[in-house]
Structure 1
C-alpha cells in the first residue's frame, strides 16, 4: 500500500471528486480523521482552472491529494475512470504532491442523501453535492489508512 511508503506522517489532506463539468474539493485532517467540504470549481471537459487549484493547494498545503476513482458497481473501469486518473497524474505533475486514488462508488448518492436530510430539495446544490462527495471520498480513504510502523 502507498501508506507504507510514506517517509513522514500525513497531517493534512485534500480530496477531489472529479467530474467533467465540476470538481468537488474537501480538506481533511489525519489527527481527527475527519473531512470538511470546501467548494466545487468549474471544469471544462474535465479541465479546471489550474491557477485556482494552485492557489488552494498553496493555501491548504496538503501532504497528500486523494482523488476519487469512479468505477462501475462491479468494480470495472469506465470512460470517466481514465479521465480521473489523468487528472490525478496532472495534479502530481504540476504540484509535486503525493496522490492516492480512492474508490468513490456511491459517494454522490450518499452526499445527496446527507444534504437532503439537512435542508431538503432546495439544499441540493450541484457544487455542494460535489464538495460533500469529496469529503466522503477523503473520509473513506482515511478509514482505510494504516499508520506506518
Structure 2
C-alpha cells in the first residue's frame, strides 16, 4: 500500500507544505499558506488533507545548532499538536536544523515549500521501510 505523507515547514508568516509517498520515497514542494490567522490556515490545510488523504504528517522542528530549543521549536511543536488534534492523523517531528544548510537564507514562498520538501525527504529517507 502506498501512503501519501505531508511535510510542513512552520513559520509565523508562512507555512510551506510538501507531499511525498512511501512508494517512491520522494518529496516535492506542494504549496505555501500565507494566511496569518489560525482559522484560515487550518481550513486550507483541511482542504489539502481532504484532497490528498495523507496517512501521516511531518513537521520540521527547528533548533539551535547545538540542539538547544528556542521559541520556534515550541511553536512548531504546538503546531504539530494542533494538526494531530484537528485532523486525527499521526504527526512526527523532524529535526530540521541541518536542512537549513541547503536552503538559501532568504525566505519566500518558493523557499518555504522547498524547505518543507527537504524536511519531508529527510523523514522519508529515515523511514524508507514504513510500509
Task: Provide the TM-score with structure 1 as the length reference.
Answer: 0.79
Corresponding residue for 1:63? 55
Residue 142 of structure 1 deviates from its aligned partner by: 1.1
1:53 aligns with 2:42: no
Q: After the TM superposition, which segments of 4 or more aligned residues of structure 1 sit over 2 Å from their partners?
A: 106-109, 146-149
What value does the CA root-mean-square deviation take over the aligned residues?
2.1
Corresponding residue for 1:103? 95
Structure 1's unaligned 5+ residue stretches are 1-8, 114-123
Q: What are the superposed Cα offsets for residues 64-123 of structure 1, whole Å, 9 maximum, x if unpaired?
A: 00000001100111111001000000000000011000011142441338xxxxxxxxxx
Aligned 1:1-149 pairs, distance under 5 A: 11-44=3-36, 47=38, 49-112=41-104, 126-145=108-127, 147=129
Residue 10 of structure 1 deviates from its aligned partner by: 6.2
Paired with 2:14 and 2:128, the residues of 1 have a C-alpha distance of 31
Residue 148 of structure 1 deviates from its aligned partner by: 5.7
Pairs aligned (count): 130
Q: What are the superposed Cα offsets for residues 41-62 of structure 1, whole Å, 9 maximum, x if unpaired?
A: 01427x3521111000111110
Q: Retained in 1: the 8 A contact 2:6–2:120?
A: yes
Structure exhibiting the larger radius of gyration computed from Cα positions: 1
Matched residue SS, 1:112 = coil
Q: Retained in 2: the 8 A contact 1:102–1:137?
A: yes
Residue 11 of structure 1 deviates from its aligned partner by: 1.4
Paired with 2:68 and 2:109, the residues of 1 have a C-alpha distance of 27
Q: What are the superposed Cα offsets for residues 18-65 of structure 1, whole Å, 9 maximum, x if unpaired?
A: 0010000000111111001011101427x3521111000111110000
Structure 2's unaligned 5+ residue stretches are none
Moved more, 129-138 or 48-57: 48-57
Q: Retained in 1: the 8 A contact 2:22–2:128?
A: no
